[in-house]
Chain A
Amino acid sequence: MKDNTYIPKLAKIIQIKEEVGGARPIKTFRTQFIQDNNFSFKCGQCAMLSVFGKGESMISISSTPLIKDYLQFSILKMGRVTSSLHEMQEGDIIGIRGPYGNGFPMEKWKGKNLIFIGGGIGLAPIWSVLHTALEKKEEYGDSMLIYGARTSKDIVFKQELAELRKKMKVHLSVDVEEPGWEEFIGFVPLNVLEIKPSPKNSVAVTCGPPIMIKFVIQNLKALGFEDEQIYTTVENKMKCGIGKCGRCNIGLHYVCKDGPVYSWAELKNLPQEY
């Protein structure tokens, strides 16, 4: 009999950073396993986080697998478990099981330009793959990030984005006009049309709210991207993480196991149940 995947491994929260305040707060947590174990993951995979006594929540891993010291999760306060996480302090213990899901097919992307397009907390899953590609710069073409949030206050990884500008093109946007904002004003899909990334030898990776993804894909298609060049991630309610509890399916697919990463070529043929 194989390992019991339902039993989480204990991990300590070693750092908490407040990314966004206000009504839709986001915090970034760094965690370290208390005991050594063989947790290894691919970019785009998720982990099931436990707050004991509250329950579990599936969260994408935002750190790169190249960093072995800690796992990082950027979490929007939303339900029971994420709200509890937001109340936790450095040094507190959580449970982690996984990793789950398919991850991004980065092997297939070698030699290609990578265009990352994110909205809001959707930068979290991108963050892992973006930094991995950056560390292995010689294996990929030019990378670019197009990212937007409701307001400048809702932008995650602010300091890191400033650093990132030294290494790749970063195009930011906010949804509505605000004093002092010098970059694009408008929704992310419109910024995509403004920047016009070239589909030539490129792969576009987009994560964010479903409505944003829908129009980003529409606009990428207008720019000449083929379905196979567009990748996104899907979110659904999950409990088990291994395709058994039955709730995260879109058609035949269990998002927890067969997803969350899909090319548009795959996703467009699945029913819209997400």
Chain B
Amino acid sequence: MEKVLDKKSFPQWVKKLSSYTVYAPVQEDEVWNYEVITNPEQVNLDFPNTVLSPKKIIFPQREVYLEFSASNEDGLEVKEVLPEEEPSVIFGVRPCDARALTLTDKVFGGDFEDIYYWKRRNQVALVGLACHTPPSPNCFCLSVDGSPFSKEGLDVLMSDLGSKYFVEAFSKKGEQLINPAKTLFKPPTEKDKKELDKNRTEAKKRISRQIQNIKKIPPKLKGMFDSSLWDEESMSCLRCGICTYLCPTCHCFDINDEIFSSSPLSGKRIRTWDNCQFPDFTMHSSGHNPRQGKASRLRQRIMHKFQYFVERYKNYQCTGCGRCISRCPVGIDIIEVLDKVSSYEG
């Protein structure tokens, strides 16, 4: 389905979606993040990219799995806590972040479906916003099979045509978003389509950063487990973990119990994001740690994204959003690291 929507009518569209929980980028303290929108007039799609990707809505940083409490009969009662039934829509999803969800889908799917992830994933519709200009100087989606107007993972893609949006729906979920506001949308003219094509050609040209010889990297990494490159590149790492916390594709998590009361026992089991850059991530209870130094942890981050994931799922576990580069406090740059992998000899 292809339509155009006048920018002035956009809040009207959002208003029509009253049966959904609506998320959109909101600016607070100079940064943008997805928040629940109560006033449709508030929605402002004139943003670069959010600090956290929409992954946080589907796979929250902290969520309760189950609650437990002492009971008289069997001594203990365990109650499953599942996400609420709540159809939702996220506006302003950048194509890289939507593609990232197609990758976390692979992880949370498979032999063991992660019920918490899928409960949220199945009831959320993603409305993308194509990147006319790169939201960040560190964008490199073109290097990792993406593009500034990729529709992968999206239900709807909106592209800015100045005074209006070109709106494409790719799924039933997407069409269901447009249907209640049908009268607001018009069929696109030939001129609209031409302008869209022109914008897209230009958008690609505006992305300045790229990874050299990306196709050669997965096989090259196979022989680089013991390379000194990891020591050199991780030297300045502070182990803060921001690279993976902000990554839209990272999925590692921890599971812990929190108690409200120890007698009688009551508490909950929670899952929280975890981070392969933290030393205790892999530390055994004996104190033995297979990834003792930060070199081994940078290696894990790079190899997971550009070798192991490729071997397992046939995709890079990176969609080129550039967050890890822009936010690293010491300037570790995944593109530079990968370029060094490419040119590494020895």
Contact of A242 among B112, B296, B300 (CB under 8 A): B112
Which B residues are closer than 8 A to A by beta carbons? 65-66, 68, 74-76, 78, 80, 82, 107-108, 110-116, 118, 225, 251-257, 259, 262, 265, 267, 269, 274, 276, 281-286, 288, 290-291, 296, 300, 303-304, 307-308, 311-312
Contact of B285 among A79, A257, A271 (CB under 8 A): A79
B112 in contact with A245 (CB, 8 Å): no
Chain A residues with Cβ below 8 Å from B296 are 273
B80 in contact with A53 (CB, 8 Å): no
- Extra contacts besides A7-B65, A210-B288, A273-B296 (4): CB < 8 Å: A52-B78, A54-B257, A242-B112, A244-B114
5 contacting pairs across A/B (C-beta < 8 A): A10-B78, A52-B76, A237-B281, A244-B251, A247-B276
The verdict on A4 contacting B254 (CB below 8 Å), with A236-B284, A237-B282, A252-B311 known, is: no
Chain B residues with Cβ below 8 Å from A56 are 255
B112 in contact with A53 (CB, 8 Å): no
Top 8 A-B residue pairs of the complex, sorted by shortest distance between their CB atoms: A79-B285, A246-B252, A242-B112, A52-B68, A78-B285, A93-B75, A273-B290, A252-B308
Interface check A251, CB cutoff 8 A? yes
A245 in contact with B284 (CB, 8 Å): no
A247 in contact with B281 (CB, 8 Å): yes
B286 in contact with A93 (CB, 8 Å): no
| A35 (CB) vs chain B CBs: closest residue | B74
The verdict on A1 contacting B308 (CB below 8 Å), with A52-B76, A236-B282, A237-B284 known, is: no
B76 in contact with A93 (CB, 8 Å): yes
Contact of A6 among B65, B251, B274 (CB under 8 A): B65
Which A residues are closer than 8 A to B by beta carbons? 1-2, 4-8, 10, 34, 52-57, 78-80, 82, 92-93, 95, 210, 235-237, 239-240, 242-252, 257, 271-274
Query: Chain B nearest CB: distance from A95 CB in Å?
Result: 7
Chain B residues with Cβ below 8 Å from A251 are 303, 308
Chain B residues with Cβ below 8 Å from A52 are 68, 76, 78, 257, 265, 267
Contact of A246 among B112, B118, B253 (CB under 8 A): B253
A239 in contact with B254 (CB, 8 Å): yes
B113 in contact with A246 (CB, 8 Å): no
Chain B residues with Cβ below 8 Å from A245 are 252-255, 274
Alpha-carbon distance between A257 and B110 when the two chains are bound, in angstroms: 12
Interface centre among B65, B251, B269, B283 (most CB of A within 10 A): B269
Chain A residues with Cβ below 8 Å from B108 are 244
A5 in contact with B267 (CB, 8 Å): no
Query: Chain A nearest CB: distance from B105 CB in Å?
Result: 12
Chain A residues with Cβ below 8 Å from B308 are 249, 251-252
A246 in contact with B251 (CB, 8 Å): yes
| B122 (CB) vs chain A CBs: closest residue | A1
A243 in contact with B267 (CB, 8 Å): no
A274 in contact with B255 (CB, 8 Å): no
Chain B residues with Cβ below 8 Å from A79 are 285
Query: Chain A nearest CB: distance from B244 CB in Å?
Result: 10
Chain A residues with Cβ below 8 Å from B78 are 7-8, 10, 52, 95
B115 in contact with A4 (CB, 8 Å): yes
Query: Chain B nearest CB: distance from A267 CB in Å?
Result: 14
| A51 (CB) vs chain B CBs: closest residue | B257
The verdict on A5 contacting B312 (CB below 8 Å), with A240-B253, A247-B274 known, is: no
Alpha-carbon distance between A251 and B290 when the two chains are bound, in angstroms: 12
Chain A residues with Cβ below 8 Å from B303 are 251
Chain B residues with Cβ below 8 Å from A210 are 288
Chain A residues with Cβ below 8 Å from B274 are 239, 245-247
| A4 (CB) vs chain B CBs: closest residue | B115
Query: Chain A nearest CB: distance from B217 CB in Å?
Result: 15
| A3 (CB) vs chain B CBs: closest residue | B115
Contact of A237 among B112, B259, B283 (CB under 8 A): B283
A7 in contact with B66 (CB, 8 Å): yes
Alpha-carbon distance between A55 and B286 when the two chains are bound, in angstroms: 16
B66 in contact with A6 (CB, 8 Å): yes
Alpha-carbon distance between A95 and B82 when the two chains are bound, in angstroms: 19
Alpha-carbon distance between A203 and B303 when the two chains are bound, in angstroms: 34
Query: Chain B nearest CB: distance from A208 CB in Å?
Result: 13
A55 in contact with B285 (CB, 8 Å): no
Query: Chain A nearest CB: distance from B82 CB in Å?
Result: 8
B74 in contact with A82 (CB, 8 Å): no
Chain A residues with Cβ below 8 Å from B284 are 235-237
| A272 (CB) vs chain B CBs: closest residue | B290
| A82 (CB) vs chain B CBs: closest residue | B285
| A234 (CB) vs chain B CBs: closest residue | B290
Contact of A240 among B82, B255, B300 (CB under 8 A): B255
